[in-house]
Amino acid sequence: MSQSDQGRGQSPLPPAHVAIIMDGNNRWAKNKLLPSIAGHTAGAGAVRRTVEAAARAGVKVLTLFAFSSENWKRPKAEVDGLMRLFMRSLKKEVKRLNEYGIRLRVIGDTQGFSDSLQQEIRHAEQATVTNSGMVLAIAANYGGRWDIAEAAKSLAKQVAAGSLSADEIDETRLHQHTCLADLPPPDLMIRTSGEQRISNFLLWQAAYSEFVFLPVLWPDFDENHFTAALSEYYSRQRRYGGR
């Protein structure tokens, strides 16, 4: 919708897909002289608020960067705490997701997790699979480069098997093998904590995303911040490489 349409009083369409880099949990905890896991626990509350705000706003897909493939480098105690928090959240939030009609998907190399966590992921996905509302995609043990490499590997196997020729590989075919290939690319990407980088998140999918960087630390993120990001998005004129 153009700005002139908005000026005539028509409500702007919400972004179909919002992706968020949830940054600032550790700094939030450090500022309060608390252990890092306290920041991650508070961040889980921000996740709940944001999921509900996005659903109310009419967003079709919300993708949250929960745990990157680089996060394994963090101290073992913090990683272990994150895994326990992920497990608890999966068990606790399924009922709420069903109440909102939200379908859960977890993207990333889930085989890197414990068997019990993998089982809980499958259970949560299956418990929400018939929901027809917003899709909530949790990126866990995910990296944008990993995503592209896995797509390339899948295509290479087809070429080796003789079912695909190298000349048939193009952007469309590679896209079909990436995570979230069946969903629209993110219209809006939000990063909290004031950092202004993409951090290996949805590298392929974010080619034409609008970026909004907010100074708020993730545990303090609420519906007002989400609405502010949407307002900034509505003020942009998307050209997709055109004039």
Which residues line the annotated binding site for Mg(2+)? 23, 210
Check 31, 71, 80, 200 and give the catalytic one: 71
Q: Find the DSSP H helices in 111-208.
A: 115-127, 144-161, 171-175
Q: How many helices (H) and strands (E) does the chain have?
A: 8, 6
Q: Can 187 be counted among the known catalytic residues?
A: no
Q: Can 23 be counted among the known catalytic residues?
A: yes
Check 5, 23, 167, 220 and give the catalytic one: 23
Count Cβ atoms below 10 Å from residue 77 Cβ, excluding itself: 11
Q: Which residues of 133-160 are buried (b: 16+ CB within 10 A; e: fewer)?
A: ebbbbbbbbbbbebbbeebeeebeeeee
Which residues line the annotated binding site? 23-28, 40, 68-70, 72, 74, 191, 197-199, 210
How large is the angle between the packed helices 76-100 and 115-127, nearest 10 degrees?
20
Active-site residues, by number, are: 23, 71
